[in-house]
Amino acid sequence: MSNAMTLPQHPAKEQAAPKQRGYWGSVLYRLRYDPVTVFFGCVVLAIILAAIFAPVLAPFDPYKESIIGRLKPMGWKGHLLGTDELGRDLLSRLLYGGQVSLLMGVVPVAIATVIGGTLGVIGGFGGRRVNTAIMRTMDVFYAFPSVLLAVAISGAMGGGAANGMIALSMVFTPAMCRVAETATAQVKNLDFVEAARATGAGTLTILRYHILGNVLGPVFIYASSLVSVGILLASGLSFLGLGVKPPTADWGLMLSTLRQSIYINPAICALPGVAILIASVSFNLLSDGIRSAMDVRL
Partner 1 sequence: MENLSDRGGPAQPLLIAKDLRKHFKVKGGAPGATVRAVDGVSFTIHKGETLGIVGESGCGKSTLARLLLHLIEPDSGELVFDGDPVGEMRGISVNALRRQVQMVFQDSASSLNPRMPVRDSIAFGPHVHGKTKAESSRIARDVLVKVGLKPDLFGPRYPHELSGGQKQRVNIARALAIEPRMVILDEAVSALDKSVEAQVLNLLRALKENFNLTYLFISHDLSVVRYISDRVLVMYLGAVVELGPVNEIFSRPKHPYTVALLASRPSMDPANRIEEPPLTGDPPSPIDPPSGCRFRTRCQFAETVCAEVQPVLGQWNDRDSHIAACHMRDPASGHSRATEVN
Q: Min. distance of Cβ 125 from partner 1 in angstroms?
A: 15
State in angstroms the smallest separation of the CB of 96 from partner 1: 41
What is the rounded distance in angstroms from the CA atom of residue 116 to the CA atom of residue 237? 22
| Min CB(286)–partner 1 separation in Å | 22
Footprint of partner 1 (CB under 8 A): 1-2, 4-10, 12, 15, 17, 20, 23, 190-192, 194-201, 205, 209-210, 213-214, 217, 296-298
- Residue closer to partner 1 by CB (options 23, 76) is 23
Taking the complex as a whole, the smallest distance from the CB of residue 210 to partner 1 amounts, in Å, to 5
> Can you tell me the distance from the alpha carbon of 95 to that of 49, in angstroms, rounded to the nearest whole number?
10
Q: Which is nearer to partner 1, 205 or 260 (CB)?
A: 205
CA distance from start to end of the chain: 32
> Is the CB of 8 or the CB of 78 nearer to partner 1?
8
Cβ closest to partner 1, residue 195 vs residue 281: 195
- The DSSP annotation for 246-290 comes to TTS--HHHHHHHHGGGTTT-HHHHHHHHHHHHHHHHHHHHHHHHH
Name residue 79's beta-bridge partners: 76
For the chain, what is the total number of helices (H) and then of strands (E)? 12, 0
Three-class SS of residue 79?
A: strand
- Closest separation between CB of residue 29 and partner 1, Å? 14
Kindly tell me which of 17 and 56 has the beta carbon lying closer to partner 1: 17
- Report how far Cα 188 is from the mean position of its chain's Cα atoms: 26
